[in-house]
Structure 1
């Protein structure tokens, strides 16, 4: 029996027995067939952002059907400007993100988020014109709307139609009472 547990052959047998047990485990336990995308509520983040900035804040009035909000945060942009971002997995499981800031110059903010300074057209969203930008190597589409006090950006790998759905859901929020 001692010969069996020593040397190369003992090692090889131990490895094969371990691999066999792992194989049996994978055969017995079924793989998960359910998609798991963590949901991250953004209501508090938006409310805090609205209190912290001096301009009117935009946010989705409701998420498009089948979309899952999976990230949100407030970060510092250039010149100390605050940037609100809300990320989504779309109904087709592409990525879309809404960002806004009063960072100046607004064009540089939009260029950085779109990874492009080339406007490739425009898109009408609920009677409002948004710039279209496209970065082919990243398959990144971006809609940009520059307002006097804030720049709105909707970007991601989602289709133009899906990005338009998110842009259409955006509504200007009232400022909270002081």
Structure 2
């Protein structure tokens, strides 16, 4: 037995046994071939926004296929209600729905879009949305200014994906708001 614990030959045999055991462990270990993006349930924030906002809250009627809701944050401060809902898109870009009644609305829009520059409009389901683009951040933004609030879809997703999210938005009944179209 002493022959296997001394010299190069013993070392080589011990190394081979260790590598064989490690190989067996790796072969038997489960492999994660699928990407896993943790999803959040935003329905509670949507309900709370609907119940606390003085404006009409807009919620996706259905999450587009392949999209994952990744974040939801509702902030109420000094009578202002702001809701942000983030998504990983089907192409794994980022898109976010943001809506608020923060005054002045233009300042909120400029801050969320990271630009004041309007590049035109885009029709989505018969409604004109303002388009903004900030090239250095690769950020695209669709803006819909309503009477008392603003609804935005923004992120690094392409225009088609942002329009896809905007097209799913539906006004929610609110105890304190009247519908705005």
TM bin, normalised by shorter chain, reads 0.7 to 0.9
Q: Shift of residue 151 of structure 1?
A: 0.4
Q: Shift of residue 65 of structure 1?
A: 1.4
Match of 2:133 in 1: 134
Taking a change above 3 Å as real, the CA distance of residues 94 and 64 of structure 1, as seen in their structure-2 partners, is same
Match of 1:166 in 2: 165
Q: Shift of residue 32 of structure 1?
A: 2.3
- What is the correspondence of 1:98-113 to structure 2 with a 5 Å cutoff? 98-113=97-112
Alpha-carbon distance between aligned partners in 2 of 1:103 and 1:35, rounded to the nearest angstrom: 37
Q: Shift of residue 48 of structure 1?
A: 0.9
Q: Shift of residue 176 of structure 1?
A: 4.0
Structure 2 residue runs of 5 or longer lacking an equivalent are 1-14, 177-181
Match of 1:6 in 2: none
Match of 2:174 in 1: 175
What TM-score do you get using the length of structure 1 for normalisation?
0.80
Structure with max Cα Rg: 2
Alpha-carbon distance between aligned partners in 2 of 1:64 and 1:118, rounded to the nearest angstrom: 28
The answer on whether the counterparts of 2:53 and 2:80 sit within 8 Å (CA) in structure 1 is no
- What is the correspondence of 1:83-98 to structure 2 with a 5 Å cutoff? 83-98=82-97
Structure 1 residue runs of 5 or longer lacking an equivalent are 1-16
Instruction: Give secondary structure in 2 for the equivalent of 1:133.
Output: strand
Instruction: Give secondary structure in 2 for the equivalent of 1:117.
Output: coil
Instruction: Give secondary structure in 2 for the equivalent of 1:32.
Output: coil
Alpha-carbon distance between aligned partners in 2 of 1:67 and 1:102, rounded to the nearest angstrom: 27
Alpha-carbon distance between aligned partners in 2 of 1:82 and 1:62, rounded to the nearest angstrom: 23
Q: Shift of residue 27 of structure 1?
A: 5.0
Q: Deviations over 1:53-90 (max 9, x none)?
A: 1221111111111111111011257x652210111111
The answer on whether the counterparts of 2:51 and 2:175 sit within 8 Å (CA) in structure 1 is yes
What TM-score do you get using the length of structure 2 for normalisation?
0.79
Instruction: Give secondary structure in 1 for the equivalent of 2:72.
Output: strand
Instruction: Give secondary structure in 2 for the equivalent of 1:165.
Output: helix
